[in-house]
Amino acid sequence: MFMAKKKVNPLKLLSSVKVVLVGTTHPGNIGATARAMKNMGILNLALVNPKEFPSDEAIYRSKSAKDVLEKAKVYKNLHDAVSDCELVIGTSARGRKVPWPVLSPKESANEVAIHSLNNKVAIVFGREDRGLTNTELGLCNLHVHIPSDPEYSSLNLSQAVQILVYEIRVAIIEDHKDQDYWDVELATNEQTEHLINHMDELMKEIEFYDIENPRKLLLRVRRFFKRSGIDVMETNIFRGLFAAIQKKLK
C-alpha cells in the first residue's frame, strides 16, 4: 500500500546546525571557517569571545562567505551560545583526563543528522593554542576527535571545521536521500474528512448511489482518500471541483 510520507528537504535540515568557535585568536581562522561552512550549506556561526571581530582579515579569508560573518552572533560565554541547542558536540584534538563518549566525525555527523529533524545542534571548536577547557567540554553531550596522527594531532581550526561540516552534509543528505522533498504539507485528518463528506454530498445530489443501499461504496471512497497520502493542495483541487459541479447543478 502506498502512503506518501511527510517529505523533508534535507538541505533545509542544515539550518538546524550551528558552528561555535570559542576564543578564536586569529581572525583569518574565523573567515576561513565561514567559507568552509558556506561551501557545505551550513550558515549559522556563533563566536564566543573572539579576540578580534569584526575584522578585515576575516572578511578577506571568507571570500564569498561574507554574509556568514555578517550574520554571526557574538556571545560572552559558551553556555549562552549553546543554550538553545538540544545536542551539543565538542571537538578535541587529544584525549582528556575525564573520559567522555568520543565519536568519530562520521559517527557524530550521523547523530547530527538524526537530531537535525526536530532539534538544534551545535558543534563547538576551541582556541588555536589550548582548545576547549574541561568546563567547556563538560557542557557538551558528546565529544568528537578527528583521527589525526598522534605525533601531531592538532589540525588548523578551520580545517577541523571543514572536516566536520563536510561529514554533516554527507550524513544529512544520505539519511534523507530516498525521501524526495515534497513541496506541499500533507492534508490533516480533518481536511481529508471534509473532502470525503463533500464528495458524499455531491454523490447524493447527482443520485450516484442508492441512499437506502450504499453497500460498500462509501467505505471504498474513504479508503481511497485515506491511503493516498493526499496533500493540502490536492484536497483543495478536489473540493474546488466538487463545488464547481454543485454550482452548475443549481
> Where does this chain bind ligand SAH (CB under 6 A)?
91-94, 125-126, 128, 130-132, 145-146, 148, 153-155, 157, 160
Tell me how far apart the alpha carbons of residues 68 and 72 are, in angstroms, rounded to a whole number. Answer: 6
Yes or no: say if 32 and 65 are a contact pair by the CB < 8 Å rule. Answer: no
Cβ-based nearer residue to ligand SAH, 92 or 235: 92
Cβ-based nearer residue to ligand SAH, 55 or 154: 154
Yes or no: say if 91 and 126 are a contact pair by the CB < 8 Å rule. Answer: yes
Coil, strand or helix: which one is 167? helix
Least distance between ligand SAH and beta carbon 110 (Å): 17
Least distance between ligand SAH and beta carbon 20 (Å): 10
Cβ-based nearer residue to ligand SAH, 21 or 69: 21
For residue 135, give the nearest of 102, 98, 161 by alpha carbon: 98
The DSSP H or E segment spanning 54 is none
Least distance between ligand SAH and beta carbon 240 (Å): 55
Least distance between ligand SAH and beta carbon 156 (Å): 7
For residue 127, give the nearest of 22, 19, 18, 20 by alpha carbon: 22
Cβ-based nearer residue to ligand SAH, 113 or 160: 160
